[in-house]
Amino acid sequence: MTEIKGNFRSITVADLAFPPREGGYAKGHETREAILAASLNLLVEEGYQAMSMRRVAAACGMKLGNLTYHFASREDLVRGLLDAVIRAYEIEFAAIVHMPGTPPEERLAEICGLILEDIRTKKTTRVFPELWALSNHDPFVFERVQETYARARAPLVEIVGEMRPDLSEDQRHDLALFISASMEGTTMFAGYEKPFEARMPMIETIAIKSFVDLVRNWEDPEPN
Amino acid sequence: MTEIKGNFRSITVADLAFPPREGGYAKGHETREAILAASLNLLVEEGYQAMSMRRVAAACGMKLGNLTYHFASREDLVRGLLDAVIRAYEIEFAAIVHMPGTPPEERLAEICGLILEDIRTKKTTRVFPELWALSNHDPFVFERVQETYARARAPLVEIVGEMRPDLSEDQRHDLALFISASMEGTTMFAGYEKPFEARMPMIETIAIKSFVDLVRNWEDPEPN
DNA sequence: ACAAATTTAGGACGCTTGACAACTTTTATC
DNA sequence: GATAAAAGTTGTCAAGCGTCCTAAATTTGT
C-alpha cells in the first residue's frame, strides 16, 4: 500500500470536485494529489474503464512511467483515490458533528440538510455509484466504502440518541440506518434523475421533516 | 437496435436472478436469453469490464462468432440486457399496481413493502449500481434507467393522490419522488452494507411507517 | 426433403491495456 | 560542487479487447 507521506496536503472535497487541469499539473511535491484529482475526474466523467494508467498520466501531462513511479499499479491508484475521497468526506462530516449546543432536533435537521445539500452540489457525489459498482467486485473497495458510511452514520446515531434516550441502542441504529440510506438514495437520484434535480430544494424539505418526525414519534410496533 | 423477435419468451426476474449455467447453455431457441442471463451474471458478479464479448460467449459455452451472430456489437448486448432487465421489473411493478380496492393508506404500505422486500431479496438488485455507473457515461443507458424509474413511480403518485386529494400535482410528485428515492437508497444499502442486511425487516417497518405518516401529514412549510 | 436459421472453428485487424526495465534529469543535502 | 535520492522519460512486452470475416457443419421449421 502506497503511503501518503511528507508534506502532502490532504485533499479537500473542493480539490477533488474541481481539480485544476490547465496545461498539465505535475511539478514539485503535489504531483500525487494532482494524479488523484485527475483520476477522480476521469472516473466520474468517463467511468472506471477510462481511468487507465495511461489516460491518467496523459491527463496529468506526465509520462506513464512517472505515474507508475508514484502508483506502482492501477490497484494502488484506486486505493489512493479511495483514501483521498474518504478523507475529504471525513473532514466534511467532522465539521458537521461539532456544532454548538443547539437542541438535537435542530441539529438533526441541520446535519441532514447539510449532507443533502452539500454533497449533492458537489461533483464528488457522482463518485459513489462508481465506488458501489467497484465495491461489488473488489473486497478492498467494499470494506472501505462500508467503513465510510458507518463513520458518516455515527453522528446521526448520536443525535438520535439525544432525541430519544428511551430507545435502545439497536433502535437508534435502525433509525439512523434508515435515515442515512434514505439520504443516500435522495442524493443519488438528484445526480441522476433530471426531474429530480429541479425539485431538489423541496425534496430536501420533505426529507428533513420526515426524518425529524420519524425520530420524534417512533415506537416499535406491537408484536401481533 | 437488435429486435427481440419470434417466440422469445420474455425474461423474468427469476430467470435473470438465477440463470441456469451447468455445462453451458446454448441449444434451441432460447439462446438469446441465455446470452442475456450470462451477461447479467458477469455484469453483477465481476463488473462491466468482465462482460466482454469473449467472456460472455465462453460463459454460454458458445463460440464468439455465434455471439456476434445474435448480438452484432457489445453495445447491442448492453441494450438487449437493459431491455430485459427493465421488462422484468415492469412485470414486477405491474403485478404490484393491480390490487383490490383496499384503502389507499394500506395500499401505499403494501406497495412499499413489496418493493422493499421483493426487490431486495433478488439478485438483480445488484445490477442497478452497475447501470447507474454506466448511465453516468452512456446517454442511452441513462435515458432508459430514468424512464424505468419514472414508470415505477407512477403508481406511487397515484396512491398519494388518493390519500391527499387536497395536494397539487407537484406536491404529490415531490412526495412520491422522495419516497421512491428513499426506497432506492434502502434497497441499495441492503445489498451492500452487511450490518444493514440483518436489520432489514425492521428497517422496512420503519420506512413504511415513515412514508405513510409523511403522506398523511404533509403540509408545505409556510414561506418565511 | 428442403431451405432457412443457427452454430462451429478458425483467423485477422488495429487498438488499448497493465506492467516493467533501462535510462536521464531534477532536486535536496552535505 | 559532489552525491545520492527522487522524479520523470522512453520503449517494450504479452495479453486482452471489439469487430469483422470465411467456410463448413448442424439444427430447425415446414
**Crossing angle (nearest 10°) for helices A169-192 and B127-135:** 40
Lowest-confidence segment of A99-103, B152-156, B180-184 by average pLDDT: A99-103
CA distance B66 to A216: 60
* CA-to-C1' span, B24 to C2 (A): 31
Angle at B19 between CA B17 and CA B22, to 5 degrees: 150
Q: Kindly state the average pLDDT of the residues B54-79.
A: 94
CA distances from A169 to A105, A160, A162, A221, B156 (A): 18, 10, 12, 17, 33
| Candidate from A47, A126, A205 with C-beta closest to B221 | A205
CA distance A25 to B93: 50
Q: Kindly state the average pLDDT of the residues A35-53.
A: 91
Residues 13..72 of A with a Cβ closer than 8 Å to B: which? Answer: 44-50
> The C-alpha cell of A90 is what?
471525513
Taking CB atoms and an 8 Å limit, are A45 and B137 in contact across chains? yes
Q: pLDDT tens across A45-87, in order?
A: 889 999 999 999 999 999 999 999 999 999 999 988 888 888 8
> The C-alpha cell of A132 is what?
458501489
For chain A, say whether B140 makes contact (Cβ under 8 Å): no
CA distance A155 to A161: 10
Q: How far apart are the first and last CA of chain B?
A: 53
DSSP letter for each residue of B35-58: HHHHHHHHHHHH-GGG--HHHHHH
Residue-level pLDDT at A93? 74
Q: Using a 7 Å CB cut-off, which residues contact strand C? A: A 27-28, 50-55, 64-65, 68, 72-75; B 6, 26-29, 31, 61-66, 69-70
For chain A, say whether B115 makes contact (Cβ under 8 Å): no
In residues, how long is chain B?
224
Question: Does the structure show a pLDDT above 70 at B1?
Answer: no
| Candidate from A146, A186, A214 with C-beta closest to B193 | A146
Residue-level pLDDT at A146? 86
Residue-level pLDDT at B210? 97
* CA-to-C1' span, B92 to D14 (A): 47
CA distance A96 to B166: 37
Query: Is the separation of the CB atoms in B60 and B36 below 8 Å?
Result: no
Question: Does the structure show a pLDDT above 60 at B53?
Answer: yes
Question: Does the structure show a pLDDT above 80 at B8?
Answer: no
Taking CB atoms and an 8 Å limit, are A206 and B174 in contact across chains? yes
**With pLDDT > 70 as the criterion, what percentage of chain A qualifies?**
83
Residue-level pLDDT at A182? 95
- Where is pLDDT greater, at B9 or A64? A64
Lowest-confidence segment of A20-29, A37-46, B85-94, B109-118 by average pLDDT: A20-29
> The C-alpha cell of A2 is what?
502506497
Question: Does the structure show a pLDDT above 90 at A163?
Answer: yes
Closest-CA residue to A117 (of A146, A96, A147): A96
Instruction: Please provide residue A11's backbone torsions phi and psi, each rounded to the nearest 5 degrees.
Output: -75, 135
Which residue's C-alpha cell is 434516550? A165
Taking CB atoms and an 8 Å limit, are B193 and A149 in contact across chains? yes
Query: Is the separation of the CB atoms in A172 and A161 below 8 Å?
Result: yes
Q: How far apart are the first and last CA of chain A?
A: 53
Chain B residues in contact with A222 (beta carbon < 8 A): none
Which domains are seen in chain A, by residue range? 13-75 (1.10.10), 99-217 (1.10.357)
CA distance A204 to A198: 11
Instruction: Please provide residue B64's backbone torsions phi and psi, each rounded to the nearest 5 degrees.
Output: -55, -45
Distance of CA B43 to the CA centre of its chain: 15
Residues 6+ apart with CB under 8 A from B75: none
Q: Kindly state the average pLDDT of the residues B20-40.
A: 66
Closest-CA residue to B154 (of B111, B102, B100, B116): B111
Question: Does the structure show a pLDDT above 80 at B216?
Answer: yes
Question: Does the structure show a pLDDT above 70 at A15?
Answer: no
> Band of the pLDDT at A173, cuts 50, 70, 90?
very high
Q: Exposure string (b/e) for B135-165, b if CB count within 10 Å is 16 or more?
A: bbbbeebbebbbebbeebbebbbbbbbebbe
**B73 CB contact with strand D at below 7 Å:** yes
> Band of the pLDDT at A170, cuts 50, 70, 90?
very high
Closest-CA residue to A112 (of A93, A131, A126, A98): A93
Taking CB atoms and an 8 Å limit, are B217 and A217 in contact across chains? no
CA distance B194 to A150: 11
Chain A residues in contact with B214 (beta carbon < 8 A): 206, 209-210, 213
CA distance A72 to A39: 14
| Candidate from A137, A203, A221 with C-beta closest to B177 | A203
Query: Is the separation of the CB atoms in A19 and A41 below 8 Å?
Result: yes
Q: What is the DSSP letter of A130?
A: H
Residue-level pLDDT at A28? 41
> Band of the pLDDT at A6, cuts 50, 70, 90?
very low
> Band of the pLDDT at A8, cuts 50, 70, 90?
very low
CA distance A39 to A2: 16
Lowest-confidence segment of A24-28, B152-156, B219-223 by average pLDDT: A24-28
Question: Does the structure show a pLDDT above 90 at B38?
Answer: yes
CA distance A131 to A122: 16
Taking CB atoms and an 8 Å limit, are B214 and A218 in contact across chains? no
Q: pLDDT tens across A85-118, in order?
A: 888 777 777 777 666 678 899 989 988 998 888 7
Chain B residues in contact with A170 (beta carbon < 8 A): 199
Residue-level pLDDT at B92? 76
| Candidate from A133, A149, A203 with C-beta closest to B129 | A133
Residue-level pLDDT at A171? 95
> Band of the pLDDT at A119, cuts 50, 70, 90?
confident
Taking CB atoms and an 8 Å limit, are B178 and A133 in contact across chains? no
Q: pLDDT tens across B93-128, in order?
A: 777 766 667 889 999 998 899 888 877 777 777 888
